[in-house]
Amino acid sequence: MPQQPIAGRYELLEELSNGGMGDVWRGYDAVLDRPVAVKKIRQQAVVGSPQIAEEFAKRFRREARITARIQHPGVPQVYDAVLDDTHERLFLVMELVDGVPLSTYINPERPLPVSWAAAVAAQVSTVLSYAHDVPVIHRDLKPGNILVARDGTVKVLDFGIAAMLRTDVTKLTATGSPIGTYQYMAPEQVRGGRTTPQTDLYALGCVLHELLSGRLLFTADSEYMVMHQHVNAAPTPLRALRPDVPSALEELVLHLLLKAPESRPADVQEVYERLRPFLPSPGEQAVPGEGGPDGAPDPTGIFRRPYAPRARAAQGGATPAVGVNAAQAAPVPVPAQLSEEIRDAYAHSDALLEEWRFGQAVEVLSEIIEPAARALGTDNPKVLELRMRRAAVRLLGGDYRAALPEFDALADAFARTGGPTGERARACRAQAARCRAELGHVTEALGALRGVLDVVRAVDGDVSEEAVELRRDIGMLLLAQGLATEADLVLGPLHNDLVLVFGPADEMTEEVAEALAVIRLDLDGNAT
């Protein structure tokens, strides 16, 4: 325990729990006079060297800020993120929740009531709907990270911890040893591929299966064999373990546990709707046997009062054009005052980015884009450059949902002004595809990236910086989808080219080599 309060204000009073990523302490905020929870990240979890300390500090604070954007009562609020001067101790300061881990109530000898388990899963779905809207992917959903508060509210803990450390909780080491909670790994996590919202849906399926059956989805003599089962083995249907489980609920769990991410439910809103028949109606009184274990909070109570997830965001559509219509605009000189205001906006946004204040940087750029578009026209190079900067800031800040329509609109604008195969148009199409991949629309992302790569190959060949980045992204997405053979066909030749052109010590060369090593661990039973 530190001899002095953390950051001069947070005192550690009592250790509450410990886990793979760190310990949780009951703390006290001396400045605001309130109790807090302090997550003390384990020192050995930090990939640290003096050379990357500052980069790590920035990443830690960035991910903490993204996590703090999940505004839902089922997510403990993040109050502060502290990295001490040695860059060796990390602390997340959060809302203190009085609750019990879900894992406490799982017992194969005493199955939980169906309505109790469904109520927990529905509340978790509601939380995930808000997180995925940011978007934030949990990556390590499990009973130990889910608390049931005294009033029956379900709290989901540890959003963003894996991303903060840039060590996915399911990542494999070079020897194939798992790091993290292998019992809840989605197949794409086992393979070391990209995680999407559907990754959390698989973990939710594992949790719901365990709540209803009282046992883990897969068990084996080794962690490797459990991971192999997640990739290859069919789950045991719930009704074979517990006949009183409704068939529709069994079907939902099996749907959540499908191997291919895009074969699972479209989103958590769909999961919530399919859980609704097993939840009590507003005003309905509890019946004997629905209350769960003796002394346990009742998560069904919240559904006796209306409670629903965040509404879906509007689908598709590019950002509406601002200012005058492009067809009406003609090239005009930039007025001196406007030119100065544009320079000031760039300088101000750059200063904010130095402090990783992405939201404020977007606001500064937005304030100048509208008057610039009115004065110069929406397709004016100065205006497009400002919009490119704003889209890039949104992407850097993890706001993929806002960045996607911006990049789509910019790709159309650059196609009009510089041709559909121009460098700027294809760069925007590639960035839009990366946003789609982050949001879980992997098939669309792959199609778009391949289309851009075809153009780049025709213009610059296979080993330009743009081409190798596209090839890397395509290979990693294929790997995430469980298409190991197809991924190997992309990443194998790419690795050979990277070694030849950039050398084996190049960062991308090493990244591709690690992906190929994962493929050749033969987790699928048919990898090369």
Which candidate, 43, 67, 69, 68, places its Cα nearest to that of 56?
Answer: 43
Active-site residue identified among 29, 133, 140, 200: 140
How far is 369 from 409, CA to CA, in rounded Å?
14
DSSP secondary structure string, 31-90?
TTTEEEEEEEE-GGGS---GGGHHHHHHHHHHHHHHHHT---TTSPPEEEEEE-TTS--E
Angle of helix 268-275 relative to helix 247-256, nearest 10 degrees, comes to 170
Task: Judge contact between 81 and 92, C-beta under 8 A.
Answer: yes
Catalytic-residue membership of 140? yes
Partner residues linked to 35 by β-bridges: 28
Q: How far is CA 139 from CA 46, 155, 475, in A?
A: 18, 16, 21
Task: Judge contact between 56 and 38, C-beta under 8 A.
Answer: no
Angle (CA) 46-52-55 rounded to 5° is 95
Q: Which amino acid is at 244?
A: D
Query: Which letter, b or e, does each residue of 75-98 get, where b requires 16 or more Cβ atoms within 10 Å of its Cβ?
Result: bbebbbbbbeeebebbbbbbebbe
Contacts of 217 (CB under 8 A, 6+ apart): 183, 205, 206, 209, 210, 230, 235, 257
What is the token pair recorded at 466?
Answer: 């743009």
Give percent helix, percent strand, percent coil of the chain, each to the nearest 5.
50, 10, 40
Q: Which amino acid is at 221?
A: D
> Which sequence positions are flagged as catalytic?
140
